[in-house]
Amino acid sequence: MMRFDARRSLVSALAISATVLCSFPAMAAEQWGLPAEGNVTRGEFLRAAVQAMELPTTAEATLTGKYTRVPQALVPYVAAAEKRNNAIWAYDEDLQLGRYINRLDALELLVTLTRPLKEGVSDPYRDVRDQSLSADAVMHAVGKKWITPLRPAVFGGNRLLNAQEALALIKHASGNMPLRPTQTIEEGGENGTPSIKIDFRGSGQSGSIPNARVLDTVWQLIRSDYLYPDRVDEDKAMQKGIEEMVKSLDDPYSSYLPPASAEQFQTQIDGQVSGIGAQVEDRAGVLTIVTPLPGSPAQKAGLKPNDKIVKVDGVSIAGLSFLEAVGKVRGKQGSTVVLTIDRDGAQFEVTVLRDTVKVPEIDVSWQGSVAIVRLMQFGRLTDTELRGIMEEVQTQKPTGIILDLRNNPGGLLHAANTVLSNFLPKGSVTAIIRSRDGDMKDATEHEPTIDEDIPVVVLVNEGSASASEIVAGSLQDHGRARLVGTKTFGKGTVQEVIEFIDHSSLKLTIAEWFTPKDRKIDGLGLQPDIKVEFSQERDAQLLRALELLPGSR
């Protein structure tokens, strides 16, 4: 069974959420009514999407919209899509179900089967109307790696889908996992939408939940005999059960995100975080700061990488789950929180004013003829815009480049690949990814934008984590750059985020990465070629990097 695609996997808790490509039965196309080859009609695609997302259908279904020319066999599927966020194309009364479907029509349907479309979203594609519902569908799908644009400025929305492309797209969007607990859809969700309940009753087959009958019996006894029935909360019980199951892995990077937490996680796609503005991880049961974000309340309050948060407003958070601890730190914009910090064994209190923090990704400045390229995280902007920026840098004929990855907590593996593609020959190995299914090598996909004779220095510190370490380690192994600063954070595992139909998510560690020369990073970090400690009075690390490059004065 194919378990993960390294180019779509996440390598940091600040990474961009992506629906994982999961394995499907070989007969999925036939079961969903898709043709074996050739183009796919809108009706065939609609039916397959509804089945893949397990939306309820009944033979007695009726349509509330005034649709014409809907074959009776497709009425249940049209009705199910209409009920789910009104996920029907806006083509007057005629849905044109016999017409071949293109990429844009497919995305408009698939995205609205998961959430309503919204206007006001910007997109970089010439063939997609900016700020439109279509733009929202395209940017959502591209951000989740369901589909890729034809070219950087052209999405290719009018291109017809063939059977293989349609099947792959539906697999990406549905996140339908064959070994997950069975999901049943019941009425009664908010705003009349179906709510998802997870059925924990195992079948006794391989892959089912251990002791599922005991679990089911305990739940039935609680529902039937517990003295205080008003305290029984089905959703809370389900979420706590899954949280504890994942927590039993004793992995600080794996977690279950209930819908509210998953939504907060998803806002990071656009580089926006709320609270104190710090990237945090659970390390040995302690909420630990990976890095304060630039310009954030955490940075202004003097918090540093590896600071441990032990109390919030005077109350210990020991024993809380990662999400519970994070929830204590977060709060409304403008409110304050008092954090008890453990730094190198000494404890002290810090008062932080909470705020909403917009995280920029790329900043380019010049010192003489040396370009200083600072990357704050490896998100969507880095993945889509950095190569164009570096091409512009090259036209100005720099005598050297400083890549500043200090306090960069990481992000998308593919964004790291994009960064490296600016400096390494096409096809250069960027990382070795090891999973339960074996090893694979990630390699650059494009020709470099920066001439090979231009020297490069990479700035790193203890806040450089995950994708930052992939970039730094690869450039170091290939002899393309020297590392200046202090030892990096040491996060070398790969996470994927599986988004479920009820909008909850599972973030699960599925692989570990190593540098091109097979150096282990997780728990160890990278050692710089030139060690320079940071000082508040002067940026000694940057000054040392400039000394190594010609033209900096």
Catalytic residue among 12, 174, 321, 466: 466
Measure the CA–CA gap between 353 and 337, rounded to whole angstroms: 7
In sequence order, the 6+-apart residues with CB closer than 8 A to the CB of 71 are: 43, 97
Length of the chain: 553
The backbone torsions φ and ψ at residue 513, rounded to the nearest 5 degrees and listed phi first, read -110, 150
Instruction: Quote the CA–CA distance of 45 and 106 in Å, as a whole number.
Output: 8
Q: Residue 336 CB: number of other CB atoms within 10 A? A: 11
Phi-psi region of 354 (alpha: psi -120 to 50; beta: other; left: phi over 0): beta
The residue among 409, 373, 414, 417 whose CA lies nearest residue 271 is: 409
**Integer Cα distance of 458 and 479 in angstroms:** 12
* Distance set, CA 244 to CA 81, 98, 235 (Å): 34, 48, 14
Q: Is 517 a catalytic residue?
A: no
Told to judge if 529 belongs to the known catalytic residues of this protein, a careful annotator would answer no
**Which of 105, 307, 477, 502 is an active site residue?**
477
Residue 543 three-state SS:
helix
C-alpha distances in Å from residue 173, one per residue of 197, 282, 439, 485? 20, 30, 26, 42
Contact call for residues 181 and 209 (beta carbons, < 8 A): yes
**Active site residue: 144, 145, 491, 507, which one?**
491
Cross-strand bridge partners of residue 185: 196
Whether 449 and 394 have beta carbons less than 8 Å apart is answered as yes
466 is catalytic: yes
Q: Which of the residues are catalytic?
A: 466, 477, 491
